[in-house]
Structure 1
Amino acid sequence: MLSELFKKTFGRSHEAHSVAPGRVNLIGEHTDYNDGFVFPAAIDFATQVLAAPRSDRIINMVAVDVESQRNRFSLDDIQFDNAMMWSNYARGVFNVLQEAGFTLSGMDLLITGNVPQGAGLSSSASFEVALLKVASDLCGLSLTGTQAAQLGQRAENEFVGCACGIMDQLICALGQQGRAMLLDCRSLVPQYTPISPEYQIVIINSNVKRGLVESEYNDRRAQCEGAARALGVNALRDATLVQLKHWKHKLTEMEYRRAKHVISENDRTLEFAEALTRGDYGQVSALMRASHQSMKNDFEITVPAIDYLVDLVHGILGDTGGVRMTGGGFGGCIVALCPTDKVDAVKRAVARHYQAETGLVADIYVCTAEDGAFAG
């Protein structure tokens, strides 16, 4: 029991407990920081944080899953920690909370979770949102889910140094059980679409080790911003494929392909929400397939093992469900909307063929959509 572990670790009982899910994005990749549209679901893997207040200004943390490492710092002197990199997500959260004018006390924190790390399932956003929820409850901050998401994004952008968009934190905060979220990343207004109970969210972790992800991510963001400037728009959200082709001569070849992905992916995401609402899984399949090909050819963020997995699962699902790479890229996971009666066939095919083809063993998670930390 976590409550007993907290008492054993800190010698007293916790007074606040938060749970923030990870997330998987069904479609809409690298569109969020371009003010576009995404379609994620919160999943039943989560970060949990137990907390109790201190009488001083010290944040005292124990990370159960990182060999129970202890990390502490003063709220009056928050510095980047090069020794324990995981602690910087917490340091960033407390730093932006104070910069935003919230009054904090010291606290003891016990942190644990089962969101796979490095797989593109937003373990970092889950951690940030769980911390924001427990701090809000413990210190009476009355944060909304949208406020928490914006603060979490700011912590990751400004303190950790990864130029992520808003999607991860927002779905971790405001996901809904049994539903996926169509999110307009400009207005931050979510719309929810039920996922048929006859379908499962199947996530397959390629276990390709992801290297240089943050630098590649930041490069892609810079390329998109360069394309938007060349097109004379505030963000690629505001451009069309017709405009892109007309002004192609103003862009480098790389900027053109990056912009082509983002603009077409926004269109696909909106079409996907409509197709899912009407239960048109033939269209769902086609849109997820096109999304993957765009990530492979125009955005260049897939790797051979990921492409192999997508093709393998697509061969089983056909037009009855969809499959694509999900997450930042360069490894990580694929996601499938899979009819329940085909889940076992997908598992068997991956077990039979993936290791023989790549030398790697995939992990398979059959997930449900869950509530975010600030839901309700």
Structure 2
Amino acid sequence: MTDIKDICKKAFEEKFNCAPEYYSYAPGRVNIIGEHTDYNGGFVLPCAIRYGTVMFAKQNGTDKIRVLALDMNNDYDEFAIAPVIEKHDTKLWSNYLRGVTYQLAAKHEGKLKGLDIVIKGDVPAGAGLSSSASLEVCFGNLLNNVFSLNESLMNIALIGQSAEAYIGMKCGIMDQAISANGVCDHAVRIDCKSYDLTKVSVPSDLVILIINSNIKHQLVGSEYNDRRESCEKAAKILGVEYLRDATMPMLLAAKDKMDDVTFRRARHVITEDERVLEASKAFEAGDLANLSKLMYQSHESMRDDFEITVKQTDALVEIVKTALGPGKEAVRQTGGGFGGCVVAVVKPEDVQSVKNAINAQYKAVSGIDATIFETKACDGATFKKL
């Protein structure tokens, strides 16, 4: 991260001909288990990772946010702070910032002032590691601290979630919540109904591997919203507010009242919530065998019931599963789906064999190489006045 900090700070000084006053950072995340359960009021078990978004900023004495995005080919945008801020026609990255700004401006009338900002990140875009949530939380926490808005980190996360809805993505709270509230050396189990956070220690003898299929997913306007609608339909049939409140006996009793697709979507969510709770116990106990069983079951459920995997991520999971062997195959697709990354939890001595297997086999399936990252569980959002 030092590299992106140095690059970002230097770019700020060159763009705005002055030194920055503020520094903000928020990480991306990887979800160990609990996919598409967050917007169903359920449980998820993510951790913050060592890749994220950096911002350097200075007040500019105007009513405008002026921002340079280094990772968007040095794209630049500016917009006035107002209770209503229109979306930009072509700059998707700026719309995340616009969405956060208009909500905070409406809630804290007159408190926000103009800022000059330079942004740089190292979360791979389109990899399912929450580059957008990292951006939203980094920016929201910047505004929160610079202008003394006194919002909690969870409120900043909720504002980021609403910014996603502003651009057309009805996502759950997981990505923003863990970016804001990550804890070093811990996954965090998030109750997405109550917003309770429970630290789950990651055993020191386990490594988290993130394998990017390099099949980019784009969830805005995609099948993601269709999956959410199916879940809402199932919840209505079952007479519950969220699928988190349903049980498998309830679902089986109502099977003849719903089509097969709706039934399978609901089955994934209900069983996935159970897996998250069991996986939390397995992590705390250092029980890799049980964690392996639960993570692979999660992948099968995403593949067969929720239908959000693709052949490349399925292939990666099978390559890693075979390389690790029985009782150690803690691997699954992670993220919203339709591409992106696979996550594996492995012993340090197995890391190289997994890398060797991927490098030897994946390109034959996909025509491209995978990118492999090692990470530990990291802290969430930070802010500093320089």
TM-score category, normalised to shorter length: over 0.9
Matching residue's letter, 2:362: Y
8 Å CA contact retained: 1:22, 1:123: yes
Contact in 1 for aligned 2:31/2:335 (Cα 8 Å): yes
In the TM superposition, structure 1's runs of 4+ consecutive aligned residues that sit over 3 Å from their partners are 211-214
Partner of 1:217: 224
Q: Is contact 2:203-2:284 (8 Å) kept? A: no
Aligned match for 1:296, one of 300, 303, 308: 303
1:117-128 to structure 2, matched below 5 A, reads 117-128=125-136
1:36 alignment partner in structure 2: 42
The answer as to 2:33 corresponding to 1:27 is: yes
Counterpart residue identity of residue 381, structure 2:
A
- Contact kept, 8 Å, 1:15 with 1:52, in 2: the verdict is yes
Indicate conservation of the 8 Å contact 1:213/1:330, yes or no: no
SS at match of 1:124: helix
1:155 offset after TM fit, Å? 1.1
SS in 2 for 1:86: helix
DSSP-derived class of the 1:24 partner? strand
Q: Which residue of 42, 50, 75 maps to 2:81?
A: 75
Aligned partner of 1:29: which letter?
A: E
Q: Quick check: 1:162 aligned with 2:159?
A: no
Alignment-derived partner of residue 65 in structure 2: 59
Q: Residues 240-281 of structure 1: CA distance to partner in whole angstroms, max 9, x if unpaired?
A: 001000011111211100000000000000000011111111
Amino acid at match of 1:279: G
1:142-162 C-alpha deviation (Å, 9 max, x unpaired): 2211111111111111x1110
Instruction: Give the counterpart letter for 1:65 in structure 2.
Output: D
TM-score by length of structure 1 reads: 0.97
The structural deviation recorded for 1:117 is: 0.3
Report deviation, 1:100. Answer: 2.3
Could you tell me how far apart the structure 2 residues matched to 1:344 and 1:148 are? 39
Paired AA for residue 16 in structure 1: Y
Take 1:69 and 1:257, find their aligned partners in 2: how far apart are those partners?
43
Residue 239 of structure 1 corresponds to 246
- 2:296–2:329: 8 Å Cα contact kept in structure 1? no
Q: 1:374 to 1:5 in 2, by over 3 A?
A: closer
1:213 positional shift: 5.7
1:203 to 205, 210, 219: 210
CA distance in 2, matches of 1:129, 1:305: 30
Per the TM alignment, residue 178 of structure 1 is displaced from its structure 2 partner at its CA by: 0.8
Query: Does 2:176 match 1:176?
Result: no
8 Å CA contact 1:231–1:250 kept in 2: the answer is no
Q: State the match for 1:342 in structure 2.
A: 350
**Structure 1: gaps spanning 5 or more residues:** none
2:154 counterpart (146, 150, 155): 146
Displacement of 1:211 after TM fit?
Answer: 5.2
Partners of 2:128 and 2:217 within 8 A in 1: no
Corresponding position of 2:261: 254
Task: Encode CA deviations 1:154-199: one digit per residue, 9 max, x unaligned.
Answer: 1111x11100100000000000011101110011111111111211
**Partner SS for 1:319:** coil
Question: How many residue pairs are counted as aligned between the two chains?
Answer: 374
- For 1:351-375, what per-residue CA distance to the aligned partner results, in whole angstroms no more than 9, with x for missing partners? 0010022211100001111100059
Q: Tell me what 1:352 maps to.
A: 360
Q: After TM superposition, give the deviation of residue 82 of structure 1 in Å.
A: 1.3
**2:376 pairs with 1:368:** yes
Q: Say whether residues 1:18 and 2:42 are aligned partners.
A: no
Work out whether residues 55 and 119 of structure 2, in 8 Å CA contact, stay in contact via their aligned partners in 1: yes
Cα distance in 2, alignment partners of residues 75 and 215 from structure 1:
30
Separation (CA, whole Å) in 1 of partners of 2:174 and 2:219? 21
Describe the superposition over 1:329-355 as per-residue Cα deviations: whole angstroms up to 9, x where unpaired. Answer: 011000000111100000000000100
Provide the rounded CA distance (Å) in 2 between the counterparts of 1:175 and 1:347.
27
Q: Secondary structure at the match of 2:351?
A: helix
Determine helix, strand or coil for the equivalent of 2:151. coil
1:309 maps to 2:304 = no
TM superposition shift of 1:99: 2.4
Change (3 A) 1:68 1:211: closer
Deviation (angstroms), 1:321: 4.6
Which residue number in structure 2 is paired with residue 45 of structure 1?
A: 51
For 2:62 and 2:277, the matched residues in 1 are separated by 49
1:213/1:60 Cα in 2 relative to 1: closer, same or farther (>3 Å)? closer
Which one of the candidate residues 251, 270, 283 is aligned to 1:263?
Answer: 270
Query: 1: distance between equivalents of 2:301 and 2:369?
Result: 26
Residue 134 (structure 1) aligned with residue 160 (structure 2)? no
Say whether residues 1:279 and 2:291 are aligned partners. no
